[in-house]
Amino acid sequence: MKWMSKKTVLISFFIVSMLVSSFGSAYAAANLEPIKAFFNRSVSFVLNGERWEPKDTKGKPLSPIYYNGTNYLPVRALAEALKVPIDLDASGQIIYIGGKPGEKTPIFAVPMEIDNIYAVSTKDPAETLVKDTQFKQILKIDQYGDIVFKIDRKYKRLVLNAAVISPGEHEVEFTLYNAGEAAGNAAETALEMHKVSPDDPVTQMVFNVEGLEKVKIHVQSHLLNPYIYARIVDTSYFDNGDSSSKNP
């Protein structure tokens, strides 16, 4: 009986470890099919009129794989370049491109710009009690104000929950604008507008934000100057639900 050398054992163990870490399970191995392909290092890319080089998560340049007459790029590099969200469900072997259906991102988890004068964020319990419901955080707009969200085309909808509290006396308009740098003159065009009355409970408004990089919500009474006491509450969120949904 021949004994394997220590070096052989170590090499064998390394190969087994690599196989286990690569395939994870017998199921994964059974569903991976070997192919003969090549890295195509002669291809260059132009994205939206500018030269673009795909890179991995560590910033290392990537070359497309050429197989059977077609060039293939890693889906993550391409999705990030196109500013499309991408997620992997490793257990179910599902790659979500464009966001997971039903997943909600609270508005306070999204990059936001406010002036802290006309639009103010607060966690003060005395301020976050809205229509007899205690929230953890709100945006309060007592006269008029703008809230700008940087969403990088990641979402289809903004679901905004808001109310007008006492002593508000006027109906309040919540208007959506395209605040992206490429919007140009179109940034002055209202894309969508909903109204909330002081008599209404906390009201849910659904805005279509699909394909937009930055959006602005302008809050104001149609009478322009009076105090309105509008409150946007922390149950508001962005998601990738059906952008054609109507307000409840």
What confidence score (pLDDT) does residue 167 get?
86
Measured from the Cβ of residue 161, the count of other Cβ atoms closer than 10 Å reads 20
Cα(204)–Cα(163) distance, integer angstroms = 9
Residue 170: give its domain's CATH number: 2.60.120.680
pLDDT at 29 > cutoff 70: no
Task: Say yes or no: 56 and 145 in one domain.
Answer: no
- Entry pTM: 0.70
pLDDT at 150 > cutoff 90: yes
What confidence score (pLDDT) does residue 56 get?
86
Pick from 86-90, 135-139, 193-197, 237-241: least confident = 86-90
Task: Say yes or no: 121 and 222 in one domain.
Answer: yes
pLDDT in tens, 56-74: 888 899 899 999 999 998 8
What is the total count of domains within the chain?
Answer: 2
Cα(197)–Cα(100) distance, integer angstroms = 34
pLDDT at 213 > cutoff 70: yes
Task: Say yes or no: 134 and 64 in one domain.
Answer: no
Task: Say yes or no: 110 and 231 in one domain.
Answer: yes
What confidence score (pLDDT) does residue 238 get?
96
pLDDT at 181 > cutoff 50: yes
